[in-house]
Structure 1
Amino acid sequence: MAERNQLALPNEDGGAGEPPLVPARVESAPGPRWTLDSRVKDVLLDGVPPPDKVMSLRQCLKRVGCDERVANDNIKMDVVIQEPEQFIPDEHTRSRVLSLPECQTYALVYKVVPLLEGKGIAGLRQWGDANNASVKNELRDALADDGLWNKTRGLLDNAFNAVNDAEERERRREEERIESGIKQVTLVEGLYNSVMDATWAYVKSGDTNGPLGMGVCEGNVSEKVIGPEMLWEEKEVNFFNTPDNEVDEQRDRDDGIEIFVLSSRMGWPYMVYSGDEQASTTLPKEFYCGVFVRREVVRVWYIVKKYLDVMHGEATGKTTHRLTLIGSPGIGKSFSVGAFLLYMLLRYDANRLHIVAWFIGDVVYVFLKNEQPGKVLKFDYQKAAERYIEERVKTGSRVYVIYDVGKKGASPDSNWRLNWPGILITSPNKSNYKGWSNADGTGTVYINCHHVREIKAIHVWMERFAQPNPTVSEVEDSWTELSDRIDVVGPMIRYVLFAGNYGVREQEVERELVELNDDMMKLYEKVFDKKDTWRESKSSHKIVKLVRVHYEGRLENYRNKGVSDKVYKKLSRMVIERKETEGRLQQLLEVVVSNYGRDSAHLFETFMVCLFLQKELFKQVPRDLVKLRESEGMELLECDSVVCRNGGAELYPKELAFIDKGDNRKLKCGVLYVPRDSCFPVLDAFFVVEGEPRTVVALQATFAKQHHTTVSKVVLLKEDLAECFCNWNIFTDGLRWEMIYVQPAGGNTIKTKQLCRNAKATEEATLTFWKSVQQYQVSLKPASYSGAQEAAHVTELTQAFGEVEIEKKIKKDKQMARRKSW
């Protein structure tokens, strides 16, 4: 709010510790910029500071030269003005104070604002409403005796007219910009045909002679031209990860196709190729021209096409004319999804769809399908493009919009071009799509990150252009580096494919994990407890990724999970540490066991080693433990694990400790040691049991049917343990080793001893050691673990009904259980 321009009188500082009555004059200070949302109270103050912020009675008395002290002279004038006789008994002094311009303004505000607001006029928008004419007449009559009506009407009318004048000037300027933008439109020669005539290729797995077992096919295959007719069918791409199984799925196809590559000679609107751009980058031209079409991208097209068909009467069913596509940042949504949709929309029935417009930041590409030949217009000012399209729509043209907020980072408002169907492409940041999604009839589609096999196929394709005639070994060696990047930053091609991007992202991920505060840790605890799905905006997309899920009978939805195995395990270990400190670890373990690990493979593999810390859960392990045989045909072996001996149930470790290389700590019996490093080799945790001999019980939680290891990992294990413990070499003399594979019941089961592979002649000692390790397997059955059944029931009911129904159901089940026990 601009303040009144008035010189402060000398010594008008209002006393010690109080602000001056009126601030010093600011030359050429701009007047207030009113809007239709400005409050009438602010307008009527006319630049005077609000009385409750600055003015005190003491200041006003000094202002009129009154030296006489009065009671409560430090009270603010917003209170004094309501009952001036009470605070200023002397009539002469009171008259002088109330005659001050500021006090006259406060009296006006005190009298008028409640009347206005009582009639529903709180801001300039309501004041200017023509329907309020009768209300203004009532106000005029109410203020007639005090002579306040003229000033009230003058101030509010002036402010309202100023807003209208400013809006009119801005409207004229905007009109000039639009007209200028339409006149300066660029015709992009050749781009329409370049997109329509884009060529197809694909990368498939199963090629025994190709790098990474993959081969590239271009042109014709078996006398059949590669084209959109070869794309996956809808049923092949329209599957979901369920909320109870977050393992990334990748459906196989008989012909082994992993990705298609769609290449436009001039590139695509998101990245139009030109000689100047090529000269300024080390990227090959093919990077601009080719987009990677994967299953998730094709799925989006089937959804768009279905809605288009319904809109135009070809199909029946419930539909929406707008969609919001949401996916993790850095997975190629703008480039691959936008480009593929453009290609397919241009091929859609030209009698039903005439214009395709791609909004990218402030730039808009308008593809005119019903021109002969097709044209592409490039607008550098968005509203100019909107005006051009709107004029076409008025004459009967039908438009479809691809609105990409990736570069602009802002969603159109909910009233934006409601008669235009389209799809908005965005990250999960709600501010990017809030306006668009709030419009009636807008549906939401979620897109998963790349599968590792898809990134591998992209790598094989790109290596053909990164260097001339790369050998199989060169491609495979460079893939090893990319695979390591995926382990750190996840399957985000923006960071995996380009070394510069990866280096920055790696540092961001590490920093994010190091700087996690208590609020963020509480959030992740909720996730692991199944009370939350990482949907808060506080979740950083540096350490989480979006996974599309589906509840039966409901629309598709999403949840977030750790962006990579390394990040997920790091987060979960931090949660374990926190929960153990607070004594709440058993609660989490019961939930994980109770669902057979279905809640999350990562969740099970990370947390279940901690089952050995809980006596009530641990005591069931000896009953379910199975000793692994050399082969399945052999006779079952008697279980001789140290935990199966008499009193074995009392051997559970009583303490949890996280270890790092370089700790140089003292190794003790009865402690469950969990490596903080998610890449620690061979085992997830271990503890040592006292006896003759001492026994190391190593634990490995896994969903897999096999969990073999290698000689190099076993060697690294021994080296890492020696760095963790100062007495490792002394302590390990004569140690007996056991390995227990912990698995959920009802899933894959390890049935034979796991091998130690890749042994060289010089590594016989390591191989001999591994053969001496006694191996066991345990399947965790929820019915056998105390407290687990109720936890499973609660999780199941939560997804289906909600908290009220859960409480009713649990109460009923407990009553039934008591009756049975009678």
Structure 2
Amino acid sequence: MKGYIIHDLAEPDDAPSDDLPPRGWGMVLVSPPFERNYKEWVKRSDAKKMVMDCPGESDVKAMCVWMRRHQPVREQAEYWKVVKGQMDEVGPIPRYIFDERKYDNWVQRCHKTVDEATSSVILQCIGLGRGGSWDLMKVLYWLARVVRVRGKAGGSEFFSNLPVSAHLGNKTLFKSANLMQQVDFNFLISGLTDYLISENFGRCTVFAFLNGSFVSAIERRLRELRPSPQLQSHRCALAVYSRERSTRHHVLPPLEHFSERIDVDHWVLYVTEVENFPLVDGFFFVKTKPMTLVGLRMATAGEHHTTASTVRQFTEYLAAYFNGWEESSRPLSWEMIYVQHADSTPMNDWQRCDVVSSDNVSDDEKQKIAAFWNEKVRQYQVSISSREVPRRV
């Protein structure tokens, strides 16, 4: 053997020459999972297919250290900060994160892919969370990365398509939530649930509440947080009405793009596109007497206290979104569920509603809101890992 050729097929609809490899040479063909790129060559060459992960963060950091090894430590740190920011945006793809010009072009193309996606294009994202060639899902070329998965049989392996980065993943999920049919979006979430949990995927993790397996795992682990152990315990509505759950979602746009109030619908998962939405990441209503609002908050820290002005801001959003909110909210029962990854510091104590200085809420109203929170809001905490939710590929 004279040596090996490494042939990189970076683009879709690319293919190696029929003359490769020359006699006496071996060849490694590197390609995204576009089968038509390599299917004939693999057959002709009797090649073995292997799955290779993208480099991890520690791998990329080591590359940065090596490339800037002759520079001062401060400059090395600044270079890593730039590369890390670009990796957070487009994923750990060396050909783009180490070249500023290529990065600029690529990140624009990725965002344009999501921004201009039609219903038929975004439907290709149904392959996220599952294996499968990209031949019929070309949109994954800009939005996905391949992750190697070991099979149960000895030595077997396959790959799963996951969002290339949390940033693009969030954007893709919200676009899918707006454009996909409900059954298709639920199918997408069923494949991505363990990823949303394991990666601490921020507010998009609330979409996991559309997955029955996830909700079942949550119900069994709910733990009530009480301001005083003397107070009577209270079962969470999610556990009491375990046979019912959210199977539909509704994405609430920013108020500047919202024209007409909607009616409150029970067991609909409401998620908002508003950045830094106050108090919750999502919520739903349960048909009880009185009606129950269940707020969902993804939490990583061991405490997640709020303020009276934050609660007030949340209720102002609800009044702007829903018909007759002032009337229907009077007898409303409130519950908060804090969902944490199993590796996070567990939240063990009651989460306070503090009274702090605020220009938009009077002192009297702040005291009333804090009293309502402390007396009427039920709180629950649950820690969960992806291992506790059945994985579908």
TM-score class, shorter-chain normalisation, is 0.5 to 0.7
Residue matched to 1:507: 108
| 1:635–1:454 CA distance, 2 compared to 1 (3 A) | farther
Q: CA deviation at 1:741?
A: 3.6
Q: 1:592-741, aligned counterparts within 5 Å?
A: 597=194, 601=198, 605=205, 607-610=207-210, 625-628=222-225, 639-640=233-234, 643=237, 656-661=249-254, 662-664=256-258, 666=261, 668-669=263-264, 670=266, 671-676=268-273, 683-688=280-285, 696-700=293-297, 726=320, 738-741=335-338
Taking the aligned partners of 1:583 and 1:493, their CA distance within structure 2 comes to: 36
Q: 1:744-763, aligned counterparts within 5 Å?
A: 751-753=346-348
Taking the aligned partners of 2:60 and 2:16, their CA distance within structure 1 comes to: 30
| 1:643–1:494 CA distance, 2 compared to 1 (3 A) | same
Q: Are the equivalent residues in 1 in contact too, given 2:34–2:134 (CA < 8 A)?
A: no
2:380 is aligned with 1:776:
yes
Q: CA deviation at 1:727?
A: 6.4
Q: 1:327-476, aligned counterparts within 5 Å?
A: 398-405=1-8, 410-413=15-18, 416-430=21-35, 432-434=37-39, 436-459=41-64, 470=74, 475=78
Q: Are the equivalent residues in 1 in contact too, given 2:302–2:347 (CA < 8 A)?
A: no
Give the SS at the match of 1:738: strand
Taking the aligned partners of 1:741 and 1:422, their CA distance within structure 2 comes to: 52
TM-score of the aligned structures, taking structure 1 as reference length: 0.35
Q: CA deviation at 1:658?
A: 0.4
Q: CA deviation at 1:527?
A: 4.6
| 1:717–1:461 CA distance, 2 compared to 1 (3 A) | farther
Taking the aligned partners of 2:20 and 2:330, their CA distance within structure 1 comes to: 76
Q: Are the equivalent residues in 2 in contact too, given 1:606–1:701 (CA < 8 A)?
A: yes
Q: CA deviation at 1:575?
A: 4.3
Taking the aligned partners of 1:557 and 1:655, their CA distance within structure 2 comes to: 32
Q: Are the equivalent residues in 2 in contact too, given 1:544–1:562 (CA < 8 A)?
A: yes
| 1:403–1:678 CA distance, 2 compared to 1 (3 A) | farther
Taking the aligned partners of 1:440 and 1:454, their CA distance within structure 2 comes to: 32
Q: 1:571 aligns with which of 155, 172, 192?
A: 172
Q: Are the equivalent residues in 1 in contact too, given 2:6–2:30 (CA < 8 A)?
A: yes
Q: Are the equivalent residues in 1 in contact too, given 2:15–2:37 (CA < 8 A)?
A: yes
Q: CA deviation at 1:511?
A: 1.4
In structure 1, what residue type is equivalent to 2:164?
V
In structure 2, what residue type is equivalent to 1:672?
L
Q: CA deviation at 1:458?
A: 4.4
In structure 1, what residue type is equivalent to 2:53?
N
Q: Are the equivalent residues in 1 in contact too, given 2:182–2:248 (CA < 8 A)?
A: no
Provide the aligned length of Structure 1 versus Structure 2. 365
Q: Which runs of 5+ in 2 are unaligned?
A: 359-365
| 1:406–1:658 CA distance, 2 compared to 1 (3 A) | same
Q: CA deviation at 1:405?
A: 3.6
Taking the aligned partners of 1:456 and 1:682, their CA distance within structure 2 comes to: 35
Taking the aligned partners of 2:162 and 2:133, their CA distance within structure 1 comes to: 7
Q: Are the equivalent residues in 2 in contact too, given 1:627–1:638 (CA < 8 A)?
A: no
| 1:426–1:642 CA distance, 2 compared to 1 (3 A) | closer
1:9-61 Cα distance to aligned partner (Å, 9 max, x none)? xxxxxxxxxxxxxxxxxxxxxxxxxxxxxxxxxxxxxxxxxxxxxxxxxxxxx
Residue matched to 1:525: 126
| 1:687–1:599 CA distance, 2 compared to 1 (3 A) | closer
Q: Are the equivalent residues in 1 in contact too, given 2:282–2:296 (CA < 8 A)?
A: yes
In structure 2, what residue type is equivalent to 1:438?
K
Residue matched to 1:141: none
Q: CA deviation at 1:508?
A: 1.1
Q: Are the equivalent residues in 2 in contact too, given 1:573–1:606 (CA < 8 A)?
A: no
Taking the aligned partners of 1:644 and 1:723, their CA distance within structure 2 comes to: 23
Q: CA deviation at 1:400?
A: 0.3
In structure 2, what residue type is equivalent to 1:658?
V
Q: CA deviation at 1:499?
A: 4.2
Q: Which runs of 5+ in 1 are unaligned?
A: 1-397, 782-787, 800-822
Taking the aligned partners of 1:673 and 1:572, their CA distance within structure 2 comes to: 14
TM-score of the aligned structures, taking structure 2 as reference length: 0.64
RMSD: 5.6
Give the SS at the match of 2:25: coil
2:83 is aligned with 1:486:
no
Residue matched to 2:363: none
In structure 1, what residue type is equivalent to 2:113?
E
In structure 1, what residue type is equivalent to 2:379?
Q
Q: CA deviation at 1:698?
A: 1.6
Q: CA deviation at 1:488?
A: 2.9
In structure 2, what residue type is equivalent to 1:565?
A
Residue matched to 1:545: 145
Q: CA deviation at 1:525?
A: 2.8
1:492-544 Cα distance to aligned partner (Å, 9 max, x none)? 2443345443332222112111333444444333555x5x5354353332111
Residue matched to 1:809: none
Taking the aligned partners of 1:520 and 1:700, their CA distance within structure 2 comes to: 31
Taking the aligned partners of 1:493 and 1:717, their CA distance within structure 2 comes to: 44
| 1:407–1:523 CA distance, 2 compared to 1 (3 A) | closer
Q: 1:286-325, aligned counterparts within 5 Å?
A: none
| 1:414–1:715 CA distance, 2 compared to 1 (3 A) | farther
Taking the aligned partners of 2:217 and 2:145, their CA distance within structure 1 comes to: 36
Taking the aligned partners of 2:50 and 2:303, their CA distance within structure 1 comes to: 39
2:162 is aligned with 1:561:
yes
In structure 2, what residue type is equivalent to 1:488?
E
Q: CA deviation at 1:420?
A: 1.9
Taking the aligned partners of 1:506 and 1:716, their CA distance within structure 2 comes to: 34
Q: Are the equivalent residues in 2 in contact too, given 1:543–1:567 (CA < 8 A)?
A: yes
Q: Are the equivalent residues in 2 in contact too, given 1:666–1:727 (CA < 8 A)?
A: yes
In structure 1, what residue type is equivalent to 2:137?
K
| 1:756–1:582 CA distance, 2 compared to 1 (3 A) | closer
Taking the aligned partners of 1:644 and 1:434, their CA distance within structure 2 comes to: 49
In structure 1, what residue type is equivalent to 2:111?
E
In structure 2, what residue type is equivalent to 1:777?
Q
Residue matched to 1:153: none
Taking the aligned partners of 1:754 and 1:539, their CA distance within structure 2 comes to: 48
In structure 2, what residue type is equivalent to 1:442?
A
Taking the aligned partners of 1:650 and 1:410, their CA distance within structure 2 comes to: 52
Q: Are the equivalent residues in 2 in contact too, given 1:683–1:700 (CA < 8 A)?
A: yes
Q: Are the equivalent residues in 1 in contact too, given 2:297–2:338 (CA < 8 A)?
A: yes
Q: CA deviation at 1:471?
A: 7.6
Percent pairwise identity: 20
In structure 2, what residue type is equivalent to 1:539?
K
In structure 2, what residue type is equivalent to 1:545?
R
